[in-house]
Chains A and B, each alone.
Chain A
Amino acid sequence: MEKFEPVIVAFCCHYCAYTAADMAGSLRLPYPSNIKIIRVPCSGKVDAQHIVTAFEKGADGVFVAGCLEGDCHFKSGNARAARRVEFVKKYLEEIGIESERLEMVNMSAGMGHRFAQVATEITQKIRNLGPSPVRTTMAQ
Chain B
Amino acid sequence: MITAERKPLEELIEYIKPFKRILLLGCNECVTVCAAGGRKEVGLLASGLQMAMLKNGSNIEIRQHTLERQCDPEYVEELVPMIDSADAVMSMACGCGVQQVAMRFKDKPVFPAVNTTFMGASERQGVWAERCQGCGNCLLGLTGGICPIARCAKQLMNGPCGGSTGGKCEISNDVDCAWQLIWDRLKALGLQDRYLDIIPAKDWRSGGGSGPRKIIREDLAE
Which A residues touch B83, using CB under 8 A?
A: none
How many chain A residues touch B (Cβ–Cβ < 8 Å)?
Answer: 16
Q: List 13 A-B contacts (CB under 8 A).
A: A47-B40, A49-B47, A52-B48, A52-B51, A53-B47, A55-B51, A56-B51, A91-B44, A94-B10, A95-B55, A133-B55, A134-B55, A137-B57
Contact residue range for chain B?
10 to 19
CB-CB contacts of B49-77 with A at 8 A, as 1s and 0s?
Answer: 01110110100000000000000000000
Q: How far is the CA of A3 from the CA of B47 in the complex (A)?
A: 28
Contact across chains for B9 and A94 when beta carbons are under 8 A apart = yes
Contact across chains for A48 and B8 when beta carbons are under 8 A apart = no
From DSSP, what is the main secondary structure of chain B's interface residues? helix
Contact across chains for A49 and B40 when beta carbons are under 8 A apart = yes
Most central of B43, B47, B50 by chain A CB within 10 Å: B47
Which A residues touch B40, using CB under 8 A?
A: 47, 49
Q: Which of B1-48 contact A (CB under 8 A)?
A: 8-10, 40, 43-44, 47-48
Which one of B9, B43, B57 lies within 8 Å of A95 (CB-CB)? B9
Tell whether A118 is near chain B: CB-to-CB under 8 Å. Answer: no
A48 and B52 in contact, given A94-B8, A95-B9, A137-B57 (Cβ under 8 angstroms): no
Which B residues touch A133, using CB under 8 A?
A: 55
Q: Which of A23-46 contact B (CB under 8 A)?
A: none
Residue of B nearest to A48 (CB): B44
Most central of B10, B44, B57 by chain A CB within 10 Å: B44
Which B residues touch A52, using CB under 8 A?
A: 44, 47-48, 51
Which B residues touch A138, using CB under 8 A?
A: 54
Which A residues touch B9, using CB under 8 A?
A: 91, 94-95
Tell whether A104 is near chain B: CB-to-CB under 8 Å. Answer: no
Q: Which of A105-140 contact B (CB under 8 A)?
A: 133-134, 137-138
